[in-house]
Amino acid sequence: MPSAKAEPAGDAAKDKDQGKATDESDVKVKEEKKEEPPEEPLAEADLELLSEFFSETSDLERKQQVERILKYKLNPFEVLQVRVDMTVEEIKMGYRRVSLMVHPDKCKHPRAEEAFEACKKALAELEDADKRKFYVEVMDAARQEAERELKKRKRQEREEAAARKKVREFALRHSSDKIFQLEKRRSHAEKVFIANEKRDKESLAKLKQETKVQENVAKDWDEARLNRIDSWREFTQSGKVSL
């Protein structure tokens, strides 16, 4: 009899332990499920951000963004407007910002869908470590080439500036010499003009004086001639010459 009662008690304890284990397993599963992130945690936030973003973004800005993306779609960094030193999370933020601007549900541009797909492709490529490394190397090589070209242009500009400076200095010296020669000629011409004016005035004064003398001589001669005529007439009339 005692042994018959003990067996059910053992079974009950066993069932209790199994039930406890099941409960712990269910709790663990629930905790694991709780720790798993939702599939689309930012879906509602993205919609709110989309609404707010498009309320502040003009059609012209979205059009410009679509055209910019399509123009530089071969460069994922340029498409998403992110730097090469940004983290993946920062790149994703850049993707959300740019892709929202060209979202085909809101953007009226006929190529908005193409621009949106270019954004998705750019994000996928930058999330791939190997592809991202490739683009970084390409951009670094392009940057170095651009720096070399810039230095070359600056060197050419310095050389051209130095050449222009020499030309200006030569022109300044030449113009100074030219001005000196012209001033010398002007001064000489002025002196000649003054001398000629003086000579002409003196000649005119002399001529006037000579003319006056000649007029006086002619006047005296006329008066003497008249006196002689008068004397001759008186002589012929009276036979005497008046003195």
pLDDT tens per residue across span 183-215: 888 888 888 888 888 888 888 888 778 787 777
CA distance 104 to 119: 12
Determine what percent of the chain is predicted with pLDDT higher than 70: 74
CA distance 102 to 84: 22
Token pair 């993306």 is found at: 69
Which two structure tokens, joined as six digits, stand for 227? 């006196």
**pLDDT in the model for residue 120:** 95
pLDDT tens per residue across span 133-166: 999 999 889 889 999 999 999 999 888 888 888 8
**pLDDT in the model for residue 52:** 61
Sign of the torsion angle spanned by Cα atoms 106, 111, 114, 118: negative
**pLDDT in the model for residue 104:** 92
Q: Residue 98 above 80 pLDDT? A: yes
Q: Which CATH architecture has domain 43-127?
A: Orthogonal Bundle (1.10)
Query: Between these two residues, 7 and 176, which has the higher pLDDT value?
Result: 176
DSSP annotation string for 5-35? HHHHHHHHHHHHHHHHHHHHHHHHHHHHHHH
List Cα–Cα distances, 215 to 67, 99, 208, in angstroms: 104, 115, 10
Q: What is the mean pLDDT of residues 114-141?
A: 93
Across 47-56, 142-151, 212-221, the highest mean pLDDT is recorded for 142-151
CA distance 89 to 77: 14
CA distance 83 to 143: 13
Token pair 């055209």 is found at: 67
Residue extents of the structural domains in the chain: 1-36, 43-127
pLDDT grade for 179, boundaries at 50, 70 and 90:
confident
pLDDT grade for 96, boundaries at 50, 70 and 90:
very high
Q: Residue 127 above 70 pLDDT? A: yes
